[in-house]
Chain A
Amino acid sequence: MSTYSLSDGLASGAPRTSRVALLASWIRESGVGVLASIAWIAFGLSCLWWQDVGDWSRTHSLGIAAFIIAAIALFGTVGADYLGSAGQALHKRAPWLVALGAFLTVWEVATAKFAWLPLPFFPPPQAIIEVYTDDLPKLLDSVFASIKLQLGGYVIGATIGFLTGVSIGWSRAVGYWVHPVLRFIGPLPATAWLPIAFFTFPSSWSASTFLIALATGFPVTVLTWSGVASVSNAYYDVARTLGAKPSFLVLKVAIPAALPHVFVGLFMGLGASFAVLVVAEMIGVKAGLGWYLQWAQGWAAYANMYAALIVMSLLCSGAITLLFAIRDRLLIWQKGTVKW
């Protein structure tokens, strides 16, 4: 058959081949968009076609929303040329839309419709949507509490860690006293301090801030220190022959040269402090997403747990993205940095 169409194409000349090519290129351009649209229509249908096995109030709205997304995916990718950068962005993410639509369809069918997955533990998408619409105030309160605690502890820990790191990297005397302390205390997981911190500090909030600062401070200190220590002497020589004073050597030579290391420390500190944040909220602070998770588990409200987990991962990922953005701004002089 392929030989036939090949000879056919050759015989009948250019117009026909070009129409086929046009179709092929259209499918290549918009095919993914059409597929994404189909996947989301399937999701919408799966919501509306069968009866729910449980009692969920958002099934109908979710189905409608899925159809709207399907329409956006279709027109967005087919008409990407007319939509400028938004169309381009949509087009780039179309394969992910296909995967997401397919996943949601399977999830919907496997939970709400036929309960292939055991029910209270695997809630359907509409149950999670229901949490976002009906339990929003409490969830938002938790988000703000978590951000406040995390931000305070992280900024304090990063600042102290940075200053300590620069001091030990620069001054032998400071290094003599701080280095052993750092070696002794640093590797201890910050959560090990939890029981002591909660009864020595006046409030559970200050105790948690201390623990988050501790978890952040150690990697930031060590990496800042190693960054300052590894600055090539040639830079100091150049600066000194040009008349630089010690303060200039620290602020304008050592610190900028060490900054790539400092950022590695900041990333490590961020990861470590997330862990401490959640544990501290679960155990001591009666607020925040960690506490929300704990509370949801107590009530066997599994949909709320998933909803909180999703928010938490968005927040953590957002924080990392922000840090990457700051780094890319400050280290614009570096070639070939990792893109997040």
Chain B
Amino acid sequence: MVATALAEAVTYPAAGAALDIEQVSHAFDIDGTELPVLSDVSISVEPGEFVALLGPSGCGKSTLLRLVAGLDKPRAGRLREDEERIRRPHPSRVVVFQDPTLFPWRSVWDNVALGLEAQGILRSQGQRVDAALDLVGLASFRNAYPHQLSGGMAQRVALARALVNDPKILILDEPLGKLDSLTRITMQAEIVALWQRKGFTTLLVTHDAEEALVLANRVIVFSERPARVKADIRVDRPYPRHRGDPYLADLRRQILGLLGLDATW
């Protein structure tokens, strides 16, 4: 319902973009030695697809997201958004980082307004900020400063700051990690509703196999560092999905097996 408010406030239509990750490898230099992080990763994402990325901690998921965002260049391989090479950041690909990184000197409202302000359209599109704050349930905190928020609230502000830009590709790096289970379930439903309504392409990194299965129509499982695509699983299930669905439970067991956990789970 609140998602409708945001959708109506947006004036131009935005559909999802296709994303092609082609044979991407990446590495970091730490004290002169090379640390390979991504090894020959190829993923082709259809416009409007919701892809969840799962993998062991430190395998390179955040690194891949930075490459997709255009913040770093891969050592090898190519990334393309709608056939166009990704060379630098662009507001059509918005990231919600693992850490909320709100600007402490800006109020909540000003933080959410950041993207519109940077693109010079805040004056004409200011109502989108209010709609986004409504969406994450923080309208009454619009004048608060980040140090006055809880960790979960800060994470929701970061989500609002991304959504307000109406991206073609929404990149989410464990955005719900710090939320309590109740808010988490609500936010998951809101993300799905928003994604269905707007049709943007979504890339979601998560540690939670169940979250991946409830939200995504495709789950990609990575190996240990350096990350390789270990499995690419379609989740053909209509929304809203139920956590108790035996089909999903079966997939979950399969995924946990791939991540090295026994099927006793």
The interface of chain A, by Cβ under 8 A from chain B, is: 232, 234-235, 237-245, 248, 252-253, 256-257, 259, 331-335
Contacts and interface: CB of A to CB of B under 8 A. Distances in A.
Nearest to B119: A243
Contacts of B104: 333-334
Given A235-B101, A242-B165, A333 B118 contact: no
A240 B105 contact: no
Contact of A333 (B99, B114, B117, B145): B145
Contacts of B131: none
16 contacts: A238-B97, A238-B101, A238-B114, A240-B88, A241-B70, A243-B89, A243-B119, A248-B118, A256-B103, A256-B106, A259-B105, A331-B105, A333-B105, A333-B106, A333-B107, A333-B145
A119 to B, nearest CB: 57
B91 interface: yes
Contacts of B147: 333, 335
Contacts of A334: 104
Interface residues of B, number: 29
Contacts, number: 69
B115 interface: yes
Q: When A and B form their complex, which 5 residue pairs have the shortest distance between CB atoms, in order from nearest?
A: A243-B91, A242-B115, A244-B118, A240-B89, A256-B105
Given A252-B117, A333-B147, A241 B71 contact: yes
Contacts of B146: 333
Contact of B105 (A241, A242, A245, A257): A257
Interface of B: 66, 69-71, 88-91, 93-95, 97, 99, 101, 103-107, 114-115, 117-119, 145-147, 161, 165
A241 B89 contact: yes
Contact of B103 (A240, A241, A253, A331): A253
A243 B120 CA distance: 10
A244 B161 CA distance: 14
Contacts of B118: 239, 242-245, 248, 252
Contact of B94 (A242, A248, A259): A242
Tell me whether chain A's interface is mostly helix, strand or loop, or mixed.
Answer: helix
Given A243-B91, A333-B145, A335-B147, 12 more contacts: A234-B99, A237-B101, A238-B161, A240-B89, A241-B71, A241-B89, A241-B94, A242-B119, A243-B165, A252-B117, A256-B103, A331-B105
A334 B105 CA distance: 7
A173 to B, nearest CB: 21
A325 to B, nearest CB: 18
A252 B106 CA distance: 10
Nearest to B171: A241
Specify which of B66, B104, B118 lies most central, judged by the most chain A CB atoms within 10 Å of its CB.
Answer: B118
B172 to A, nearest CB: 12
A234 B114 contact: no
A254 to B, nearest CB: 11
Contacts of B101: 232, 234-235, 237-238
A235 B103 contact: yes
A237 B115 CA distance: 12
A244 to B, nearest CB: 4
